[in-house]
């Protein structure tokens, strides 16, 4: 059996001040690369400026949800009484719009914010016109004056008066909050998915760093996870789990040499059988992967 060739020792993580690394695959990148040439992932994304929404944001959302409900109530009332088909048509248009806007605002999409502001401005104008020029919007009311219909239209007027007041307050609330209070809730910033040294890295203990690394690995950010597993291992070198995780991350990223170094060290210093099995299994896998890579390289060279 041929001796295993010594894999090149290339620690790109130690040269972060000179180069950019893809957070997913550890590919070295040029300054403003937007897509990784190796794993083809997008290297930027937009995230909200503030993770937690403000109190004003919830009130803003409540106003919009309120308008959805008011629209629905008006549709039901109109279907039952049929006093103003124009209102029915209008609310038939507003209801789905507010429903979509409520969803977008709930997801904190900027489009939801702009949409809500535009809708509130239009809604407010519409209410104003209804008040001052009712003939534009109520063409079919005050028809067929039987006593029963009079009674229905009387109570309907009270209800529509309440709805009018609530809608007016909601539109006003949306515009007020929208202009002065909630813009920061929808503000986003661009982040780069490149390996960096997080400010809190060296304040983290092993367990916290391991948890973060695990989460990043689940997102596919193996190269970034390496930073945290290194920290975890530096904090508690006796934890086999941290060392195994780091070795596995190196293997996945194609740094088999680094992985094998760690696994060899672990084999010398670990006594529990269960851990030794895991180490041996990962080492076999890593060596296999390395040999396969060498094989492919040799074939390429021969061609
Ligand atoms: Zn990549």
Quick: pLDDT tens for 67-106.
999 999 888 888 887 767 777 888 889 999 999 999 999 9
pLDDT band at 120 (very low <50, low <70, confident <90, very high): very high
Q: Which residue has the higher pLDDT, 1 or 89?
A: 89
State in Å: Cα 128 to ligand 1 middle. Answer: 56
Q: Distance between CA 61 and CA 50 in Å, rounded?
A: 17
User: Which residues in 202-230 are b (16+ Cβ under 10 Å) and which e?
Assistant: eebebeebbebbeebbeebbbbbbbbbbb
State in Å: Cα 34 to ligand 1 middle. Answer: 10
pTM for this structure? 0.67
Q: Is residue 215 part of a domain?
A: yes
State in Å: Cα 193 to ligand 1 middle. Answer: 9
State in Å: Cα 196 to ligand 1 middle. Answer: 14
State in Å: Cα 126 to ligand 1 middle. Answer: 52
State in Å: Cα 163 to ligand 1 middle. Answer: 55
State in Å: Cα 206 to ligand 1 middle. Answer: 26
User: Which residues in 185-196 are b (16+ Cβ under 10 Å) and which e?
Assistant: bbeeeeebbbbe
Q: Is residue 291 part of a domain?
A: yes
- For the chain, the first-to-last Cα distance in angstroms comes to 24
State in Å: Cα 16 to ligand 1 middle. Answer: 15
State in Å: Cα 198 to ligand 1 middle. Answer: 19
Domain end residue (candidates: 186, 214, 247): 186
Q: Which residue has the higher pLDDT, 224 or 297?
A: 224
Q: Which of 180, 190, 233 is nearest to 34 (CA)?
A: 190
- The pLDDT of residue 88 is 84
Q: Are residues 70 and 176 in the same domain?
A: yes
Containing structural domain, residue 225: 201-302
- The pLDDT of residue 2 is 45
- The pLDDT of residue 277 is 93
State in Å: Cα 261 to ligand 1 middle. Answer: 24
Q: Are residues 82 and 179 in the same domain?
A: yes
State in Å: Cα 201 to ligand 1 middle. Answer: 22
State in Å: Cα 29 to ligand 1 middle. Answer: 9
Q: Which residue has the higher pLDDT, 152 or 208?
A: 208
The 10 Å Cβ neighbour count of residue 145 is: 8
Q: Which residue has the higher pLDDT, 140 or 283?
A: 283
In contact, 259 and 248? CB cutoff 8 Å: yes
Domain end residue (candidates: 186, 213, 236): 186
State in Å: Cα 265 to ligand 1 middle. Answer: 29
pLDDT tens profile 152-192: 566 667 777 888 889 999 999 999 999 999 999 999 999 99
Q: Cβ neighbours of residue 294 under 8 Å, at least 6 residues apart?
A: 5
pLDDT band at 219 (very low <50, low <70, confident <90, very high): very high
Reading phi first (left if > 0) and then psi (alpha if -120 to 50, else beta), residue 40 is in left
Q: Which of 49, 291, 74 is nearest to 189 (CA)?
A: 49
Q: Is residue 263 part of a domain?
A: yes
* pLDDT of residue 9 exceeding 60: no
Residue 188 three-state SS: strand
Q: Distance between CA 94 and CA 103 in Å, rounded?
A: 14
State in Å: Cα 279 to ligand 1 middle. Answer: 27
State in Å: Cα 40 to ligand 1 middle. Answer: 6
Q: Is residue 211 part of a domain?
A: yes
Q: What is the mean pLDDT of residues 228-243?
A: 92
State in Å: Cα 210 to ligand 1 middle. Answer: 22
State in Å: Cα 38 to ligand 1 middle. Answer: 5
pLDDT tens profile 293-303: 888 776 666 55
Q: Are residues 158 and 219 in the same domain?
A: no
Contacts 24+ apart (CB under 8 A), 239-244: 239/206, 239/210, 240/266, 240/270, 240/272, 240/275, 240/278, 240/279, 241/210, 242/206, 242/210, 244/275, 244/278, 244/279, 244/282
3-state secondary structure 218-243: HCCCHHHHHHHHHHHHHHCCCCHHHH
Q: For the chain, how big is the Rg over CA atoms in Å?
A: 32
**How many Cα atoms are found within 13 Å in the side-chain-facing hemisphere of 65?**
9
Q: Are residues 206 and 288 in the same domain?
A: yes
Q: Is residue 286 part of a domain?
A: yes
């Amino acid at each position: 059996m041929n001796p295993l060739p010594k894999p090149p020792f290339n620690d790109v993580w130690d040269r972060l001040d000179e180069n950019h690394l893809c957070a997913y695959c550890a590919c070295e990148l040029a300054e403003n690369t937007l897509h990784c040439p190796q794993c083809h992932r997008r290297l930027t994304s937009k995230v909200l400026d503030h993770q937690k929404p403000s109190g004003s944001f919830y009130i803003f959302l409540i106003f919009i949800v309120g308008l959805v409900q008011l629209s629905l109530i008006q549709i039901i009332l109109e279907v039952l009484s049929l006093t103003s088909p124009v209102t029915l048509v209008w609310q038939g248009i507003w209801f789905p719009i507010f429903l979509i806007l409520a969803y977008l605002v709930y997801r904190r999409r900027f489009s939801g914010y702009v949409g809500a502001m535009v809708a509130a401005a239009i809604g407010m104008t519409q209410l104003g016109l209804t008040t001052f020029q009712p003939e534009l919007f109520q063409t079919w009311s005050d028809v067929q004056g039987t006593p029963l219909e009079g009674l229905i239209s009387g109570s309907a007027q009270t209800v529509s008066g309440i709805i009018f007041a609530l809608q007016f307050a909601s539109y006003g609330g949306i515009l007020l909050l929208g202009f002065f209070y909630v813009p920061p809730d929808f503000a986003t910033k661009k982040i780069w998915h490149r390996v960096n040294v997080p400010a809190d890295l060296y304040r983290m203990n092993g367990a916290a760093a391991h948890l973060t690394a695990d989460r990043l690995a689940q997102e596919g950010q193996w190269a970034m996870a390496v930073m945290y597993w290194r920290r975890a291992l530096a904090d508690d070198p006796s934890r086999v789990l941290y060392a195994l995780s780091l070795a596995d991350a190196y293997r996945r990223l194609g740094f088999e040499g680094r992985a094998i170094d760690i696994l060899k060290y672990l084999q010398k210093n670990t006594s529990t059988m269960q851990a030794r099995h895991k180490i041996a299994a990962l080492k076999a896998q890593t060596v296999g992967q390395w040999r396969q890579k060498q094989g492919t390289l040799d074939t390429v060279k021969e061609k």
